[in-house]
Amino acid sequence: MRIEDVRRHGTTPLTRPAFAPVVPWFTDREYLNIVYRTDPDALRAVVPEPLQVEEPLVRFEIMKMNDVTGFGPYTEGGQAIQVSFDGERGEYLHAMYLDNFPATAAGRENSAYPKVIGAPKLYVDQDVLVGTLDYGTLRVATATMGYKHYPLDLREAEAQITVPTFMLKIIPGYDGAPRVQELVRTEITDVVVKAAYTGPARLQLFQHVLAPLADLPVLEIVSASHILTDLTLAPVKPVFDYLKAGTR
């Protein structure tokens, strides 16, 4: 294979890349979002500067991807922390767990999503919307919400899922030191909200050493939403370079 042929590849193996070279379009992406108040000190311990924590709020999410170009259907769960950067409010993606390897690899390599393999599920149990997250054979989160109790304004639902998202992009060199260490920003685009609901909700987090969601304990449920939408994701853009910034 010629050098110019290698340059056209974005991932390995060269003869069967880990993920398709496509911009994914999400059709019927279904969210269960539960925003909760947590321990401010616990947040400050995990949110990297220069991001700022103004309110100790975390969004636990389970997302069922019913149809995604290049990846097929899969489910994803995790935690996003409300933050601000240079006066702009957004969310810092703290942890994401997926049941699809190509989507996990693409999210980490093409972008900066903190994705690892897990076993999230989203389903309806009689009159309750249920979101669960397992790591290996152990349950680490269970979320429940009353199924379609109250309509949620579609504009409010869109605002919930289109806030700017901040993530860390870290690529190590062969000596173990980082070659890339950046704070990046992205957002959801081309959104079509098809349905949205709110209602009562509960969230349980369970201690696990390698899936430490419970390190951000649930102190109070603030809000919950169930949203169905089509969308795509904007490319990430670096907003802060840790290797060039001075230390304090």
Per annotation, catalytic residue among 115, 121, 148, 169? 115
Cβ atoms of residues 32 and 129 within 8 Å? yes
pLDDT of residue 87: 94
Give the residue from 82, 85, 102, 104 showing the smallest Cα distance to 93.
82
Residue 199 per-residue DSSP state: -
Q: Report whether 78 contacts 58 (CB < 8 A).
A: no
Beta strands in 126-234 (DSSP E): 128-135, 138-146, 150-151, 165-172, 178-186, 188-198, 201-205, 220-233
CA distances from 57 to 79, 121, 171, 218 (A): 10, 23, 29, 10
Pairwise CA distance, residues 205 & 42, whole Å: 15
> In angstroms, rounded to a whole number, what is the distance separating the alpha carbons of residues 20 and 15?
12
In a 3-state reduction of DSSP, which class is residue 154? helix
| DSSP 8-state class, residue 236 | P
Could you read off the pLDDT of 72-97 as tens digits, one per residue?
999 999 999 999 999 999 999 999 99
Phi, psi for residue 242 in degrees, rounded to 5: -70, -30
Mean pLDDT of the 201-227 span: 98
* Listed residue (76, 67, 72) closest to 27, CA to CA: 67
Is residue 213 helix, strand or coil?
helix
Buried b (16+ CB within 10 A) or exposed e, 147-177: ebbeebebeebbebbebbbbbbbeeeeeeee
Q: pLDDT band at 16, cuts 50/70/90? A: confident
> Which tens digits make up the pLDDT trace of 145-198?
999 999 999 999 999 999 999 999 999 999 999 999 999 999 999 999 999 999
pLDDT at 110: 86
Q: Are strands 178-186 and 88-98 parallel, antiparallel or unpaired?
A: unpaired
Residue 115 is among the residues annotated as catalytic for this protein: yes
Backbone angles phi, psi at 192, to 5 degrees: -130, 105
Tell me the two tokens of residue 162: 């289109």
pLDDT at 18: 87
Contact 160, 209 (CB under 8 A): no
